[in-house]
Structure 1
Amino acid sequence: MDFTEIYKQSGNLASFSPGAHFILNVVENTLIVRRTDTLQITRTWTITAPSSTASILSNSKSIPPEGWISHAGWSCDSEYLLAASAKKGIVEVFKLRDENWNARIEAGVEGLLKAEWAPDGRHILCFSQWGLRVTIWSLVTGNATYIQFPIHPDRGYAFRSDSRYFILAERHRSKDAMGVYDTTDCYKLVRHFPVPTSNLSSLALSPTGNHIAIWEGVLEYKLHILSLAGDVQGTFSPKPNPGFGVRNAAWHPTGMFLAVAGWDDKLSSKIPAGATLWREPSNWLETTQGRGFLSYERLQGPQTISLQRTDPTKPNPKSGAVQLEWNKTGTLLLVRFENCPTVVHLYDFPASSDPFVPRLRCVFQHSKPVLHAQWNPVRKGSLALCTGSGSIYTWSDEWIGENGVEEDMAECIGVPANTKFETRSIKWAPDGKGLVLLDKEVFCCAFEVEDDAES
């Protein structure tokens, strides 16, 4: 991999454009756009004035760090960018090819919690504080649509894959409900129905857009499958001992089935003989001085990993599956369990024509807890992860060995920085050929070398 220089950033706000030709990043109150090929700055915009309501409510003339840009992102066609400051109660919208064009959204007394693009790239969703409402602003008409009482601003809504419908979990008169809205008709309400949960924790819309999975909070292990008409298609609750509630659920890319993981610690420390244990070499960063790469140690045969004991009597116990994510084709499932934070599990899943017998394929073990892991958005067998050290870690099942057959390859790659750099988060480019690596206040990019990718 080739690495760029290190640049400043704030709030972990750095990402590739949908076409991967540009990179945006935020430094305090400034939005910066760079070209991907040269990393030269193309555009900059600065947000200064808060909304009139925020000015009245604030006693301070200066905006502290929490008043910097808190949300930023590209429209789906890379034509527009938004930069929002939740503390200031504003969203600024800019046009990449017209530096003088600008639109501004000001939140009222309801405040602003977050802002993001709708899939069409011409509407912006603004979630207010205290779960009062979500406002959908149109850049085309300048009009707004208001929907009352969303339950969760982070995990309580979804767009259908064709972007036609917006599904929102709501709470009316202390009862959970679901709203379905037509995005092509100014987010007009199509259907509204109660749901069989008492404390809805989250939802997941199937890739086909026909079914919604909803589940209860941490105290009740119960998941329901509903149609978009509101009919209950099925309910899942493990028997006879359900334990704690559902923590994560992820639809298979085909929508054929759903992977569900709870807050419990039902995980074996034994790795069977058919699975591979990839172990990070000890002190490899010191040995390579952070400027090389080294293969993981590959251990075959039965192995064991250490598990942390969880005390359920303490608040916020570290237990359950913190991440549950399919690869692009649904042939691999990545799972990270919080009671073994240094480990990542990969499970093989058969094709639809083969017998349904999932199996543990491999386990990655590291010296430090894994902070972030993400599948390549284009390639079916390519994974990157980080642990807060001066490196990134990659795995691929597309390596061509000496005999011409595809093999698994797992590598530890040092980030060649002149100053201390700790990779705490990663983001793939949409074309799968590069990564943004984020530390607390800086970032850099890593790009695949074409010759290495073809080896």
Structure 2
Amino acid sequence: MNFSEVIKQSNQVCKVSPDGKYLATCVQYRLVVRDFNTLQIVHLYTCLDQVMHMEWSSDSLFILCAMYKRGLVQVWSLEQPDWHCKIDEGSIGLVSSRWSPDGRHILNTTEFHLRVTVWSLCTKSVSYIKYPKACQKGMDFTADGHYMALAERRECKDYISVFVCDDWHLLRHFESETQDLAGLEWSPNGCVLAVWDSCLEYKMLLYSLDGRLLSSYSAYEWSLGIKSVAWTPSSQFLAIGSYDEKVRILNHITWKKLTVFEHPAIISNSKAVLFKEMEKRAVVGSEDLSVHQLTVGNSLFSTQSKYEITQLPAKVSVVKPDPDHANPKIGISAMAFSADNRYLATKDDNMPQSVWVWDMQRLGLLAVLEQTAPIRCFVWDPRRPRLALCTGNSKVYLWSPAGCVSVNVPVEGSFQVQSLFWHCSGGSLILLSKEQLCLCYMDTEEKDQSTSSDCNFTI
């Protein structure tokens, strides 16, 4: 495992192109495009204001930069650096901007969700979609880019419109059986649209492409309901995380509950492994530059950590939510399936320092990673069953079926990893601090490793 030098960035606005060749970062009002392999600057663009959102087109030929405070969007071309496009929404404002799947249309959502404006880069035509609903996830495209589903709110009722992305004509429009629609998401194969209600009512609705209601699922009533939703890449399972600290798995044949994953405070499952992070401070020599170093007085110290396997049954750290505050930290807030559909990673807000890994073949708990600090972000390798996570310190953590490892980011100064994401090849990690980024190059050689807390990784 090797690390690059640090690179400046602002607001954690950093994206890798879909083809994996370029790395784009924003530094205040400047857009910097680098060759991913060499990190050499290949293009430098100057925007009209500080960039709040940046996104690549699907073919990696254009970059969208949104400046929400000024209601502006600028588009830059990699093939023709002198060409650029500016979209000004004017007094109506701008709250979000994104590409369509074809990479030639831009969808802008105005303030107060008054409308969605579709701008064409090819014909310079403009289309308007009225009544978009302001919700958690009100717009989603199928994986093949053919259709878009949009949540709408008309006359105090929820509706769903399905558009054909080729010419943006309306394919289907139907009323949703929700009280207050909170989000929608297509299955990866584009055959089923999952629609869920607000947290005040537990309701999951599954629609076909033509608007038929395939199934409706509700686990309980009169309590806070759905908090997170995740499809498996194969579309065979739908995971529903709720405020009762449970994950329910629905199958794609009958859309009935297949199993329930609970998150107890005491882990007693004999087939599971609890990896607990243990920290220690040690004096290091001047020749050891592979660890994060802290100067205390006249001594040089390093904070190192490693995982230890805890004997079961064992208790997991639990934080009780404050009932006097809104939006209590309770329930399943994050879920993610591995690329091979084999594993599911979950996070319970009651246990902010732990990530739970479930085996989808035997439908049981496989491992729990308990950190010394709350988990900020976790994400799966897009090619291998390998999970990376960070906790806001100078380390990056990796889990695989072979075990766990904790690695210090060996850069000068303070580099606190706030978030991270994988390169599309799975060969490297992009680590983001508040104002910098660093690339972590993984060892791609496949090695047979036994299940151990001291799993070997090449550094």
Verify same fold: TM over 0.5: yes
1:112 is aligned with what amino acid?
Answer: L
2:383 is aligned with what amino acid?
Answer: V
Q: Which of 92, 98, 109 pairs up with 2:74?
A: 92
2:373 is aligned with what amino acid?
Answer: K
Change in 2 beyond 3 A, CA 1:423/1:285: farther
Alignment partners' CA distance in 2, 1:270 and 1:5: 42
Q: Which of 276, 279, 282 pairs up with 2:279?
A: 282
**Where in structure 2 are there 5+ consecutive unaligned residues?**
247-262, 285-289, 294-301, 449-456
Q: Give matches, 1:8-47, under 5 Å.
A: 8-47=8-47
Alignment partners' CA distance in 2, 1:36 and 1:320: 38
Q: Which of 368, 385, 388 pairs up with 1:384?
A: 388
1:290 is aligned with what amino acid?
Answer: H
Alignment partners' CA distance in 2, 1:128 and 1:221: 30
User: Which residue in the other structure is 1:171 paired with?
Assistant: 153
What is the CA distance between 1:72 and its match in structure 2?
Answer: 0.7
Aligned residues with identical type, % of pairs: 33
Alignment partners' CA distance in 2, 1:93 and 1:372: 29
Q: Which of 312, 324, 328 pairs up with 1:301?
A: 312
TM-score by structure 1 length?
0.87
Alignment partners' CA distance in 2, 1:98 and 1:109: 31
Q: Are residues 1:371 and 2:376 paired?
A: yes
More strand by share: 2
Q: Are residues 1:273 and 2:284 paired?
A: no
Q: Which of 431, 436, 458 pairs up with 1:442?
A: 436
User: Which residue in the other structure is 1:51 paired with?
Assistant: none
What is the CA distance between 1:303 and its match in structure 2?
Answer: 2.0
2:292 is aligned with what amino acid?
Answer: G
Alignment partners' CA distance in 2, 1:431 and 1:121: 21
Say whether the 8 Å CA contact 1:281–1:296 is kept in structure 2.
Answer: yes
Alignment partners' CA distance in 2, 1:451 and 1:214: 42
User: Which residue in the other structure is 1:415 paired with?
Assistant: 409
What is the CA distance between 1:416 and its match in structure 2?
Answer: 0.8
Change in 2 beyond 3 A, CA 1:223/1:452: closer
Alignment partners' CA distance in 1, 2:134 and 2:345: 25
Alignment partners' CA distance in 2, 1:391 and 1:286: 18
Alignment partners' CA distance in 2, 1:277 and 1:195: 42
Output one character per residue of 1:117-157: Cα deviation in whole Å (capped at 9) or x when no partner: 22211111111110111112121111122111211375111
Change in 2 beyond 3 A, CA 1:193/1:21: same
SS in 1 for 2:112: helix
Alignment partners' CA distance in 2, 1:283 and 1:148: 57
Output one character per residue of 1:176-226: Cα deviation in whole Å (capped at 9) or x when no partner: 000000011x21111111101111011121122122111111111111112
Q: Are residues 1:138 and 2:120 paired?
A: yes
SS in 1 for 2:414: coil
2:51 is aligned with what amino acid?
Answer: I
Cα-Cα RMSD: 2.1
Alignment partners' CA distance in 2, 1:11 and 1:99: 24
Say whether the 8 Å CA contact 1:426–1:438 is kept in structure 2.
Answer: yes
Say whether the 8 Å CA contact 1:275–1:300 is kept in structure 2.
Answer: no
Alignment partners' CA distance in 1, 2:134 and 2:82: 36
Output one character per residue of 1:374-401: Cα deviation in whole Å (capped at 9) or x when no partner: 011122x11110000001101123xxxx
Alignment partners' CA distance in 2, 1:145 and 1:359: 49
Change in 2 beyond 3 A, CA 1:294/1:308: closer
1:236 is aligned with what amino acid?
Answer: Y
1:171 is aligned with what amino acid?
Answer: R
Alignment partners' CA distance in 1, 2:243 and 2:366: 23
> Greater shift after overlay, 250-259 or 366-375?
250-259
What is the CA distance between 1:243 and its match in structure 2?
Answer: 2.5
Change in 2 beyond 3 A, CA 1:308/1:153: closer
Alignment partners' CA distance in 1, 2:70 and 2:447: 45
What is the CA distance between 1:115 and its match in structure 2?
Answer: 1.2
What is the CA distance between 1:97 and its match in structure 2?
Answer: 2.4
What is the CA distance between 1:84 and its match in structure 2?
Answer: 1.3
SS in 1 for 2:34: strand
